[in-house]
Structure 1
Amino acid sequence: MRHLIPLLALLALPACATLPGDPMVDTLETRDWRQVATEGDRERLRNMSVTFDRALREARNAGFTSQVDALGALATPDAALPFTTMPNGNYSCRIVKLGSPSGSLAYVDYPAFQCRVRAERDLQGLAKLTGSQRPIGLLFPDDDLRQVFIGTLVLGDESRAMRYGADPERDMIGALQRIGEKRWRLLLPEPRFESTLDIIELTPIGD
């Protein structure tokens, strides 16, 4: 985990209506997400296809089959298209929570929130700017079908993000995939809060 510390500075950005300040990845030594992610997060991402199937099954078994079917490609495990980098800017981000590991509601579809993508030197940062649960982190290159998101979760009225690796309950890892023209999804397996899988649909604001 020798490459973890340089990432922490970036993830301490304020969680407000913008991502202020200069990019803070000057000392980040690697672009290999495997050297940045914790062992637990690497396992979560490795098991994502199993988690996706379980989340769909839990939602359907709870009586939400029609809602899941209506999501189309957003909730189709193999819907990823050849990846194209998201342009920097503001995004509408709709969150769908699937599955219920703790007995909570097995399907929740929230109205759109606001997210932002911005340059962080040769990487990009992605942050959810509004709402009570706000992931913030970095996007790392991976393969032809995805980028890997590594970050932490900001809650409620907190004004700063917790450092990645400081609390496994706040650490987040996910796969950013393209599922259509100017349409991406961020899959967050086992996010620790409420659901088995979170799906964030991202579309540029104004397009």
Structure 2
Amino acid sequence: MRIITMLLFAGVALGGCAPHPRLAVATQPDIPTDWHMRLTPVDRAAIDQLDTTWSRARAAVPRRMRGAYAAEGPLVDPAIALPKPDLPPGLYYCRLVRFGGHAGFATAKPDFCTVVATADGVAFNKQSGASQPRGWLFDHNDTRGVFLGAFLPVRGGAAPAYGANPALNVAAVVERVSAFRWRMVMTRAGNGALLDLYELVPVTPKVPGSVPAVAG
């Protein structure tokens, strides 16, 4: 995968964000080197039908939630997919946005996710929150990347390799929607929802010893 080098993330690797999770590599024993061949029929169908899913999800937003929906801007515009979708290595705020289900449209408090370039590939880990997908990122085309992974088991233990446990499998498409803002649209949604996506925004590193500027 084409990795975009950004000075913004340099401080993260040096521990500039002490209270945040450390960058960690996905704990899956098997790295799918050819994602086209490894993609399950269920996930392939979900990705192929994503336009239809988007339409159903947007139609399910209740009238009372239309303002909150509109405030998300390009994040919830299915037609937005900018060039260079690759997620640069670093620490991210990852915020769940959910269509359908009990609330109709809901957003969650941001959790932490990491993207780590390794000798084997580019690993993605969601490191906090109730649901934690972990796996690997791949190129697809000029405006879309692909994620293949699995959820951490509820009872603990490492996430299995993608394809090893259908109940834990998860795939997603990754798209850049604006400057320093990405989304990961999942092939599975929780709690009876129609569509789950994560907003991914880089965590700006804090420089040790820095103090706020004082207005003169």
1:181–1:122 Cα change, 3 Å: farther
How many angstroms apart in 2 are the aligned matches of 1:17 and 1:157? 23
TM normalised by structure 2 equals 0.76
Q: Per-residue CA shift, 1:142-185, capped at 9, x if unaligned? A: 01111011111125562421332233332111110011111111
Are the structure 2 counterparts of residues 107 and 145 from structure 1 closer, same or farther at C-alpha, using a change threshold of 3 Å?
A: same
Q: Pick from 53, 56, 63 the counterpart of residue 55 of structure 2.
A: 53
Q: 1:78-157 alignment to 2 at 5 Å?
A: 78-100=79-101, 104-121=102-119, 123-154=121-152, 156=154
Judged with a 3 Å threshold, the aligned counterparts in structure 2 of structure 1 residues 157 and 115 are, in CA distance, closer, same or farther, namely farther
Q: 8 Å contact 1:137–1:149 — kept in the other structure?
A: yes
Distance 2:61 2:157 in 1: 33
The change in CA–CA distance for 1:169 and 1:177 in structure 2 (over 3 A counts) is same
User: Aligned runs of 1:172-191 on 2, under 5 Å?
Assistant: 172-191=170-189
Distance verdict in 2 for CA 1:157–1:109, change over 3 Å: farther
Aligned to 1:10: none
* Structure 1 position 19 matched with structure 2 position 24: yes
For normalisation by structure 1, the TM-score amounts to 0.79
CA deviations on 1:76-98 (whole Å, 9 max, x unpaired) are: 00111112422111111111111
Match of 2:33 in 1: 30
Instruction: Say how many residue pairs are matched.
Output: 185
Rounded Cα–Cα distance in structure 2 between residues aligned with 1:45 and 1:51: 9
Segments of structure 1 that go 5 or more residues without pairing to the other structure are 1-15
Give the match for residue 43 of structure 1: 45
Paired-residue identity, %: 28
Rounded Cα–Cα distance in structure 2 between residues aligned with 1:22 and 1:166: 14
Q: After the TM superposition, list the runs of 4 or more consecutive aligned residues in structure 1 that deviate by more than 4 angstroms.
A: 20-25
The equivalent of 1:199 in structure 2 is 197
Go from structure 1 to structure 2 and tell me whether the alpha carbon gap of 1:121 and 1:24 turns closer, same or farther (over 3 Å shift).
Answer: farther
Amino acid at match of 1:154: L
Shift in Å, 1:191: 2.8
Deviation at 1:195, TM superposition (A): 1.7
Distance 1:21 1:58 in 2: 34
Output the CA distance in 2 between the equivalents of 1:161 and 1:48: 25
- 2:168 and 2:91 map into 1 onto residues whose CA distance is 24
